[in-house]
Every structure is written in structure tokens, then in C-alpha cells.
Structure 1
Amino acid sequence: MERPSMTRLLHPSVPAQPGGTPVASPIFQTSTYELPRSPVAAEIAAAVAPTGYYTRYGSPNAREAEVMLADLDGAEAALLVGSGMAAISAALLSNVRAGTEVVAQTSHYTAALTLLRTVLPSYGVDVLLVPQESIADAVSPSTGVVYVETPSNPTMALTDLAAVRAAAPHAIVVADNTFATPYNTRPIDFGVDLVVQSATKYLNGHSDVTAGVVTGSADLVARAWETARVLGPVCHPFEAWLLARGLRTFPLRMARHNTSGLAVARFLAGHPAVDAVHYPGLATHPQHDLARRQMAGHGGMLSFTVGSAEAAARVLGSTKLARNAVSLGGTETLITHPASLVFAHQSPAELAASGVDPALLRLSVGLEEPEDIIADLDQSLSTL
């Protein structure tokens, strides 16, 4: 019996077939690409983010998503990476070195706080963390990078992007726009140099992808790509393909998140068991005027406090529609307890500095009927 030929198995001869071109982009599920046997191969290898060289450098699926993401942000270029933290890390590490002064908020996503408080200082970067409202005042002529997040996670506090840009004309300003999304805020329009987002959240919108994106000028994005090329936070072709598919419904989903988020926030603000609601779309939000200037809509993220940490645990344990899970921005409503679940790696002092109250719950309002979300919260709050 003739043994199977490994050579033929590895190099199957597949004849061309008649037919049209695919309407949906195919998934380029390959790690590497055969290159031309000419000097063109060296040009491809030396290019920034080539799409047909090696998937750690880029892929056709990543490029399609990057074109869409750059357009959403009004940016020259975009870099797609494997997570929101990979985007934040690439944006910051590509613009700092020992002795660089970074000014940032005390209120940031938990892993970003670890990067700012621990990782960057270990490499000799000088990081100054100040209250969110003090960012513009803390900037000095020696400041090299300003890093902000607006609205912040989970307190929903805003940073005045135009004021920060005016106060730091010579610094590189990086803004995390995950909560607002480009549907509601385009930081580049306010002079921000680089925008970072967790594409895991609203941009993809279906809780089935982990990805991140950096957008900005072509030069700064190329610099971030060089850092990502070395560190290797790849967004693989299938995840990039899923993200591009999710982006096609992004405006439709965000319109619903905006209207439902406001409806739920208004309900919670009027409930006797709720002590405070943090949502920029409410007139009672202390920065509502800034929200009206800086945001076209206010999204589906909000947080609220009840009487105590024990009361928060009771509400969390009583929801039936809202699911107890971290992350956000998907089709389903998610509720979580930031102090114990999202910010588990921060100390009590760091939690206090970030404004994370043990009695606070964070809600990602999904695409269900808003009256169903409200009914679920109402029955859960009735347990208090």
C-alpha cells in the first residue's frame, strides 16, 4: 500500500473554481505569508504593520478593522491589538523613557492604575497621579505625557479634554475613550494626540472578543506599533474579523444604549433606596454642563450607591435579568461590584483615592427593553 505523501498533504493542488468574490471578508487564519522572490519581500518586511507578512505584524482582518476604527475616531491611523490594556500599554510605553514626567488621574481602570503606580515607575518614569478635576492644574512645562480617562471607570467623572490640551500644549495627551466611545465623544476633535479604547466593549458589542485599539496621527500610531511589535499583543484574525462585524452595527447599538442608559439612570435617581446615581446625562451630575459640551450622548454606563457594602451585595445577588459579570458594552445588561470584583488588585487606600465606594454598583445597560431592565432593578432594590 502506498503511504500518504506528506508533501502532497502539505501542498494540496486546489484548482481554481468559477464564481464571484465574497461579500463578507474572509478570515485570514494564517500565521505567515509566502513572500515574492524579489526585493519586494524586503520592502514588505521593513514596512509598518504590513498586512501580508507575519500576523504579529498585522493581518488583512486587522487592517479592515483599523480602517473602520480610524474613521470612527477621525484619526489618521489606527493600531489593533489584543486587549484594551495592550492599547494603553503600547500608547504609553512608546512615548516614555526614564525621566519622562507623566501626569494622570487617580481614577482609572484598575490595570491602568497598576501600570501607572507600579510598572512605569519601576522603569524610572515619573508618574504624578492627581484628582481628575486637577489634571490641567498639575501639568507643568516638564510634563511629557498626560493620560486621562473620561468618563472614568466606575465613577463616571469627566475630564475636560479641551482644558487639558490648553494646559499641556507640548505634551502628548492620551485619552481612554472606552466608556464614551466615538459615537458620543471624539477626543481627537478636542486636540488629544492618541485615543485608546478597549474594543472588547462597545466597539465589538457582543461580549465575544478581547481587543484594543490606539488611534491618532500616523507617526504616533507607527511608534505604538513598534512597541506592540516587540511586546507581541496580537489581535488574531478571527477576533479582528468578529470586531469588524460588530462595528457594522455600532451606531445602531449606541443609539439604543444612550436612550436606555438615560431611562435607567432616571429611574434609579428617583428610587428611595438609591443614595446617588453617577451618570453624566442627568442634570444632577456635577459635570453635566461639561457633558453637554463634550459628549453627543451619554452611553449605557452608570454607577449608583446604596446604603452600604452589604446592601450592594444584596442588590447584586437579587438581579435576575442583569448578570453579575465584569466587562461591559455588550448586548446584555451586566452589573458588578467594583470594589471587590473590578478593583480587587487595589488597596483600600487606592480605592478611596479612586472614589470607589464599597456601596457602589456599576451597571452596563444592555439592549433589552428598558422597562425590563428597570423592572429587574426595581425588584432587586425592593430587597433592601
Structure 2
Amino acid sequence: MKETESEELSSASPSCCPPGSHSAAPPAEAPGCQELEENRDMEIKQVTLHKRSGQKVGVLTAEVVSSCVSNLGRFGSGLHHLYHHLSLPSQDLSNVSVLSKYVHLEMLELPHNKIKDLSCVSHMPYLVTLDASHNEISSFFGFQPPMNLKEVNFSHNRITKMEDLSAYSSLCNLDLDYNSLSEITGLEQCFKLTRLSVAHNKISRISGLHSLPLTHLCLRGNQLERIEGLENLKCLQFLDLSLNRITSLSGLLNLHLLGSINLEKNMISEIQECKHIHDIFLLRDLNLVGNPVQDQPDYRLAVIFLLQHLTVLDQEKVTVEEKVSSVNQFDPPLDVVAARDHMTHLVYQLMQPQVLYDRCCSSMRPIWLIMLLRTNHAI
């Protein structure tokens, strides 16, 4: 009889509200509440044992959900309390269809599992944050769009193609690292997207970004050879293009809000390429570690001279002394030029042989003798 009552309470809470969470029935006053809680804990232990023994492996149950939800908050008129966050990392899950009953979730975290299907998210209209990283998902947003979905993490999955996301108008942060994407598409109508990361994919050409309000863009570890398709990203502040095959910086001319550029381990070989970003006055951090340009003579001082507003170059702080030295070397002021000329002439003069002729010595009288003769003559 007690087990039946426990099952009824568990099934009566599909809105992410485990037994005893409703304010209308305080658990402290319910008869036999302590016994029900003990029975529920016993059932959870049994589920865990079944999982270890090989039964129902990978299938998420309501009992497990009720033990993992958090962040209790009010809902509707304020008379009901519901749990809004669910985190199930590293649970070896492959089937999470039971989550379709938990319609009031706002944050769902399912990283490091074996999930292939996320259609249950279609029943979560209030979902704001979704973390499905490190799974086996191949379908791109294979669910109906929640109206307030803002952050999505699909990194370390098996996605091969991006599709139209115009229905996800609230999307602000999208992480697609470590997939198999060959191009960026479907983001044209995501007018709130500010952070996009597609690192370690197979992208060979930057496209599909148009006039998005991106402030952070990560294209690390792809197959890019040129910087293109960024000219309309007027809000871009942080750009990561490391671990590619880029040879020129010509595609960064009009990005006047850029403050950080990471070009580590590319193929930039000429210092003159820095002239393309000379007019980006907000640029403070530039990383060219692992590029052939570092082998050029006076590389660091030359880059600092071209980009006087830098504060960090190659992950090392730019000092005031380096800035002064770069100016003195490549465009010295007049007083420095005069000082150098004087030093050059002085050194050249000292290097010339000094000759003292004998006839000069024989005709010269000691100055004290001349002064004595003049004094006697006056007397």
C-alpha cells in the first residue's frame, strides 16, 4: 500500500515537482510522511542497483529526476512551488523521453551521456539553458523551439550540418565545438546572437554571419586560409582564429571594436600584415605565437611600433620601455637623430689616428714663460 502511494505521488509531479513540493499540502503535516520518504529513498536505491546490475541501463526514470532537480521556485499565481533546474551529468543515459513530462524546466544539463534524441525539449516552453555537450546527437536542434531558449551547448557531438534557426529568436549563446560542420548557415534571423563558437570543425570558408550582433566569435582549429565574411560584424570584440592556415590580415579592416585577436599557429609571415589592423584603435591583445613572422628581425619592436595601442603581444605584456624603443628605432624624433649623429661623429673622430708633429713642439714655448716675459716688460 505504501509503495502504491509513493508511485502515485511521483506520477503526480510531471511539472518537475517531486512529491511533497506543493505548498498546498505541507509534508510535515501529512500522515505517514516519514514512512513515504523512507520508501522513496529505498526505491531510488533500487533503481541505482538495477542500473548497476544491467537492468534499464541508460533509461532515465522519474525517480531519478525527482532526486536530481534543484532551484525550487514559485510558479503561476505563486501558490505552487516547482523545481526549475535539472542536472544529470555522466549518467550513461541514452533515453531521456521521460523529461517530456517536466514542462516547467528552465535549465537542463545532460553532458557526458549517450543521448541521440532530444525531442523531449519540445515540451519545455520555458527552457532557457540547454547543455547537451559530449553526447551522440546528430540532428541539429531536433525539437520545437522553446520561446525563451537563450543558451545552447552542442559541443562534442556528431552534427554535420546546420539548419535554419529563424524560429529561435531569443538565442544568445551557441556552442558547436568539436562537431563535423563544413559551413555556417541558418543564423540569418538570430538577431540576439552575441556569442558563437564553432571551434574544431571542418570549416574552410567564413560565411552565413551577415550582420549578426556577435561580440565573441571562435573559429579555432578549422581549415581557414583567408579572413573573409566578417566585414559586417560591427559589434565584434573578441575573435579567435587560431590553429588555421591564414596568411593575411586583410579581412579585419573595418572591425573597429575589436579588442582581442588570437592568430596563434597560422601562416602569417610578413610584419607588414599588421598594417591592416593599424586603425583598430581599441585593439589591446594580439597573439601571433607560432607564426613564421616571429622569425623576422626586430619582430616584436616592429609590431609594437605599428600597433602602439597594444598592451599584450603574444601573451606577454607590452612595456613602456618597449614602446619607446620601437619609436626610437623606426621613427626617432629630431633630438634622438641629433644625438645619434653626434655620437657617430664622435666615435668616428676617436677612431682617426692622432699625429703630433715635431716642428710644432720646437716652436712652442711654455705658457708660463710667455706670461713671465709679458710681466717683466710691463714693469
TM-score, length basis structure 2: 0.22
- Structure with more helix by fraction: 1
Ranked by relative contact order (alpha carbons within 8 Å, sequence separation 6 or more), the top structure is 1
